[in-house]
């Protein structure tokens, strides 16, 4: 079976983890500081705060920005459910806006309309498939003009730059994920990144029971939980900085091989330097094709069910009175007509060729 994604682990990564374990620093310790500093330097940001997951990063970032009950927030309808779940947990009022069919990210004009109509206080921009570009810059300009807070969910955009800036550093605060399918993975984990010192301090308090000094003075001046990272995972993350260039090169080469084979993958702007996060096939009968590929031992997946169609979000089972959904036809269409093909960084050339032949042969049968 050619799986849809698997991480690429090496002996050097295992050695780094082993050495960290035998050092007896396995919890909240100095290795985390090194990891935060290395990542902050890599993405060129003043502050990086390591946390237990990408979802935890979103939660901490939103609380630090003052998002809570009744806060009106714009969110793209087509995305992983994490941001919507955090907003539900915080009892915020989120307005779902459709996506741009080319970028698969938040539709800028729809965002502007929603912001003006509902007196929006914050926007979540999700860098879907690693996208950063002109749409994001327009969102930044609009939010600055009207004093709207901007959170970047850059979970799948590590390593992506535009106009000299890294994804997650365009808005007030950004969130990265280190879950298994990510370029830099620690199995679970995340990072909050920001140039705002006060926001960073609030995030650090949230991570460790509401205080950055309680281990010394015993006082908890704020409210927080346990969102801590640990030194073992930090060691695993640190080891991967040595191979990032290789991983990005492999990802670019894989994408190019799919294109050379004639597959019409999701367009990826050439000025975004490190290739797409996933190899996304557009405008196909996704469910049928997924089944046919499985018969040929090729695993693929349909992402993401639009938030307004998710059980617990839509009218079938639960809808808060304050939920203000837009009609989102592109989100619906993209879900039904999009398939995520195998995207492991170390895919073999012959596997890519086999995937492409199988896709083309299958589509010929149904056209």
Per-residue pLDDT of 51-78, as tens digits, reads 999 999 999 999 999 999 999 999 999 9
Check pLDDT > 80 for residue 322: no
Burial (CB < 10 A; 0-12, 13-18, 19+), residue 195, is middle
Q: Where a domain ends, among 187, 215, 242?
A: 242
Q: Write the CATH number for 276.
A: 3.90.1150.10
Domain around 258:
244-366
At a CB cut-off of 8 Å and minimum separation 6, what does 343 contact? 4, 5, 181, 254, 277, 278, 279
- Residues 183 and 40 placed together within one structural domain of the fold: yes
High-pLDDT (> 90) share of the chain, %:
84
Q: Where a domain ends, among 242, 258, 275?
A: 242
- Residues 39 and 159 placed together within one structural domain of the fold: yes
Its pTM stands at 0.95
| Mean of per-residue pLDDT scores for the chain | 93
Phi, psi of 95 (to 5 degrees): -110, 115
Q: Give the number of domains in the chain.
A: 2
Check pLDDT > 50 for residue 274: yes
Query: Stretch 334-345: mean pLDDT, rounded?
Result: 96
Report how far residue 144's alpha carbon sits from residue 171's, in angstroms, rounded to the nearest whole number.
Answer: 9
Q: Write the CATH number for 88.
A: 3.40.640.10
User: What single string gives the DSSP state of each residue in 230-274?
Assistant: -HHHHHHHHHHGGGHHHHHHHHHHHHHHHHHTT--BPP--TTSTT
Is there a domain that residue 1 lies in?
no
Report how far residue 367's alpha carbon sits from residue 360's, in angstroms, rounded to the nearest whole number.
Answer: 11
- Residues 265 and 322 placed together within one structural domain of the fold: yes
Query: Stretch 215-237: mean pLDDT, rounded?
Result: 93
Q: Read off the pLDDT of residues 227-251 as tens digits, 9 standing for 90 and up.
A: 999 999 999 999 999 999 999 999 9
CB 54 within 8 A of CB 175: yes
Check pLDDT > 90 for residue 365: no
Is there a domain that residue 5 lies in?
no
In the prediction, which pLDDT does 129 show? 93
Per-residue pLDDT band at 221 (split at 50, 70, 90): confident
Is there a domain that residue 6 lies in?
no
Lowest-confidence region among 59-63, 93-97, 106-110, 360-364: 93-97
Helix 244-260 and helix 349-366, axial crossing angle in degrees, nearest 10: 40
- Residues 252 and 237 placed together within one structural domain of the fold: no
Per-residue CA distances from 132 to 47, 51, 273, 340 (Å) = 20, 23, 10, 20
In the prediction, which pLDDT does 314 show? 52
Check pLDDT > 60 for residue 318: no
In the prediction, which pLDDT does 272 show? 61
Q: Read off the pLDDT of residues 136-188 as tens digits, 9 standing for 90 and up.
A: 999 999 999 999 999 999 999 999 999 999 999 999 999 999 999 999 999 99
Check pLDDT > 80 for residue 326: no
What spatial distance separates the first Cα and last Cα of the chain, rounded to whole Å? Answer: 26
- Residues 171 and 306 placed together within one structural domain of the fold: no
In the prediction, which pLDDT does 222 show? 87
Per-residue tokens: 229: 């990272």
Q: Where a domain ends, among 206, 226, 242?
A: 242
- Residues 43 and 85 placed together within one structural domain of the fold: yes
- Residues 228 and 297 placed together within one structural domain of the fold: no
């Amino acid at each position: 079976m050619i799986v849809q994604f698997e991480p690429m682990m090496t002996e050097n990564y295992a050695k780094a983890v082993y050495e960290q374990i035998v050092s007896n620093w396995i919890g909240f310790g100095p290795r985390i500081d090194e990891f935060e500093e290395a990542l902050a330097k890599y993405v060129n940001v003043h502050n990086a705060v390591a946390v237990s997951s990408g979802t935890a990063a979103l939660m901490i970032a939103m609380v630090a920005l003052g998002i809570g009950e009744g806060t009106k927030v714009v969110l793209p309808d087509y995305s992983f459910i994490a941001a919507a779940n955090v907003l539900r947990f915080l009892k915020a009022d989120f307005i779902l806006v459709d996506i741009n069919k080319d970028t698969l990210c938040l539709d800028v004009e729809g965002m502007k309309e929603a912001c003006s109509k509902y007196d929006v206080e914050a926007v979540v921009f999700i860098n879907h498939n690693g996208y950063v570009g002109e749409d994001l810059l327009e969102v930044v300009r609009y939010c600055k003009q009207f004093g709207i807070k901007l959170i970047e969910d850059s979970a799948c955009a590590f390593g992506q730059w535009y106009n000299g800036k890294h994804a997650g550093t365009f808005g007030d605060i950004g969130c990265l994920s280190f879950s298994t399918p990510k370029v830099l993975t620690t199995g679970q984990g995340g990072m909050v990144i920001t140039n705002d010192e006060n926001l960073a301090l609030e995030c650090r308090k949230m991570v460790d029971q509401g205080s950055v000094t309680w281990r010394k003075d015993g006082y908890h001046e704020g409210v927080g939980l346990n969102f801590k990272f640990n030194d073992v995972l930090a060691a695993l993350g640190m080891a991967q900085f040595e191979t990032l260039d290789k991983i990005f090169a492999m990802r670019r080469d894989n994408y190019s091989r799919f294109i050379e084979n004639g597959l019409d993958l999701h367009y990826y702007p050439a000025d975004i330097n490190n290739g797409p996060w996933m190899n996304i096939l557009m405008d196909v009968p996704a469910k049928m094709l997924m089944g046919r590929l499985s018969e040929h031992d090729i695993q693929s997946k349909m992402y993401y069910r639009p938030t307004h169609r998710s059980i617990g979000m839509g009218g079938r089972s639960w809808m808060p009175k304050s939920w203000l959904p837009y009609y989102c036809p592109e989100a619906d269409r993209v879900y039904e007509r999009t398939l995520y093909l195998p995207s492991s960084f170390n895919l073999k050339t012959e596997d890519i060729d086999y995937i492409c032949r199988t896709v083309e042969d299958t589509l010929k049968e149904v056209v």
